[in-house]
Structure 1
Amino acid sequence: MAKDKFPYMIFSPAKVNLHLKILDRRADGYHNIFSLFQCVSMSDRIWICSLTEPSDLVDGVDATPGSNTLIKVLNEFRSYTGLDFFAHIRVEKNIPQGAGLGGGSSNAASLLKALNEIFSTQLGVDDLIEIGAKVGSDVPFFLKSPAAIVSGRGEVLKPIRARDDFFIVLVEPGFCVNTSDAYAWLDAYAEGNPGFFDMQDPNIEEQYLFFEPEKWDFYNSFLPVLLERFPILLDLERLLRTYGAVYTNVSGSGSTFFGVFNYESDAHNACVSLKKKGFSAHCVRPLSFFPG
């Protein structure tokens, strides 16, 4: 571990779910999913300021030991490698929290990659995924590929070639969605809609790779329950379509709503128009590789 590596910084990208099917609850309490994850150019930055602290210190996010993913990463990495250290971590947040963009999971994966490099532990991707899966269901995705079909509870990954030939506008509707609440709403909704969890999936790999975005037949299982509680999402869908979006959806369990555009100028103009209406909007690109 060379002293000249500090402070050490790594980018931590957001993701969107272009498609998200939720399946029945598993015996371990999680739900199985079938989803298409796509990394985008919005990112946090993770700084490792010191590895000689008397205890772990995390700035920039809630650092409650029982819930903070970065502290969990430090604990799991120490347990896996046998290394003895404490760290000072600083997070520069750009990814909104509680927004379905995977910020916490991405932060965890980025920290794991950084620790592996700094300590020269030479852990392979499978080793990092094993550690990351103990921290959070979505962490393995951010360790493997910028686009992937994701199943199981998030740990089963099929990397696919990532496209970067479209544009995305992310819109924050002004509220957060607690993931546990969203799953509870979904379970209640499914009870009144027999067969809901058995909805058919389109051939998402073929559609993603070879279809224009306006022909995607993707969906998000959470959308019906979110629209019931947050009708502003329907307003956002109408606005994005008016501004030229060819595909719209909610990411993860919400709250971020997004539109896919074929042309950068349309995406830029949509972003400007949404900001004029008081929304926090971001024009981003899909990533075909992880940021360095």
Structure 2
Amino acid sequence: MKLLVKAPAKINLALDVLGKRSDGFHEVKMIMTTIDLADRIELVKLQEDKIKIISHSRYVPDDNRNLAFQAANLLKKRYNVKSGVSITIMKAIPVAAGLAGGSSDAAATLRGLNKLWNLQLSLDELAEIGAEIGSDVSFCVYGGTAIATGRGEKIEHIESPPHCWVILAKPSIGVSTADVYKNLSLDTINHPNVDGMVKAIKNQSYQDICSLVGNVLEDVTLKMHPEVANIKDQMKKFGADAVLMSGSGPTVFGLVQHDSRMQRIYNGLRGFCDQVYAVRLIGERNTLD
């Protein structure tokens, strides 16, 4: 038996850090939404009792460091599954980009194996399991648009923003999330208006959404990696309606409504950045079908 599952990327429209927790993580408040840039996960049931990861990207580990492997392993042990699985990861989302590619792969694996192994778990149960793997996995199980709190695993669904283009540009560097958080000064950060963003989305006000995007990790990453600041400046210069770094970076995204302007920005960025994408917001939540 074979299953193909889509694993979409996410962007943060707003990302705030409220403080340091006793468990070493940071307390966050974020608005995340899925976009139409996705990895594809192929799951094939194996008779032998093992988990096999196949990937054609040299940046994707094929052992227990891989989040999809961890997802399969967790389900297997918890529900005493005796058969194995081959997981082929076809990457489209850049690796270590602030777009939750690895987390989305894990979430897609959870949803797919729920069906392949006939576990009959709900999305809520899968999201709870996902929280044990990584902070973004719970959101990626659900997809759509949500407020994420705690360390990112507490999810409250909200309606999706109005349709628009999302232009992504990733410089050829990786960013360590741990290093970014280590360099974040909680005393001096300028908190984005997350509640205002929720209201803007509820009102379907594209203009207000564009004026309220914010990410407290951005300043830290820009200081560490000036090339990210350069991409941000170029995207603004080319005419994006809003420009922000996603997650801990280094990917920068711009929001645009008009096709012609999207094309102009996309073409302009291709001049000095290899990984450039123009995709749509998805917005819809995942189902178990």
Normalization by structure 1: what TM-score?
Answer: 0.90
Q: How does 1:57-76 map to 2 (within 5 A)?
A: 57-60=52-55, 61-65=60-64, 67-76=65-74
Shift of 1:290: 4.9
1:274 is paired with a residue whose SS is: helix
Provide structure 2 residue ranges, at least 5 long, that are not aligned to the other structure: none
CA contact (8 A) 2:45 2:86 kept: yes
Q: Write the distance in 2 (CA, Å) between the matches of 1:290 and 1:58.
A: 27
Q: How does 1:166-185 map to 2 (within 5 A)?
A: 166-185=164-183
Q: 1:196 aligns with which of 184, 189, 202?
A: 189
Q: Which amino acid aligns with 2:206?
A: E
CA deviation profile, 1:150-188 (whole Å, cap 9, x unmatched) = 1111111111111351111000111110111111111xx
- Residue number in structure 2 paired with 1:207: 200
Deviations 1:28-56 (A, max 9, x none): 11111100101000000001133223422
Aligned-residue Cα RMSD (Å) equals 1.9
Q: For the structure 1 residues 24 and 197, does the alpha-carbon distance in structure 2 shift closer, same or farther, using more than 3 Å as the test?
A: farther
Using the TM superposition, name which of 112-121 and 253-262 deviates more.
Answer: 112-121
| Number of the residue aligned with 2:84 | 86
Aligned to 1:237: 232
Residue type at the aligned position of 2:62: A
Q: 1:270 to 1:117 in 2, by over 3 A?
A: same
Runs of 4+ in 1 over 4 A off after TM superposition: 197-202
Determine the C-alpha separation between the residues in 2 that align with 1:170 and 1:57: 31
Give 1:100's aligned residue: 98
1:136 alignment counterpart: 134
Pick aligned residue for 1:48 from 34, 40, 43: 43
Equivalent position of 1:165 in the other structure: 163
1:267 corresponds, among 262, 269, 277, to: 262
CA shift in 2, pair 1:25/1:272, >3 Å: same
Matched residue SS, 1:181: helix
Name which of 214, 220, 224 aligns with 1:225. 220
SS of corresponding position for 1:37? strand
Number of equivalent positions: 281
- Whole-Å Cα distance in 2 between the matches of residues 266 and 238 of structure 1? 16
Counterpart residue type for residue 177 of structure 2? T
* Identity rate, percent: 28
Q: Which ranges of structure 1 fall in alignment gaps of 5 or more residues? A: none
**Aligned partners of 2:250, 2:277: CA distance in 1, in Å?**
14
User: Matched residues in 1 for 2:121 and 2:135: separation?
Assistant: 20
The equivalent position to 1:156 in structure 2, one of 154, 157, 163, is: 154
Q: Is the contact made by 2:192 and 2:212 (CA closer than 8 Å) also made in structure 1? A: no
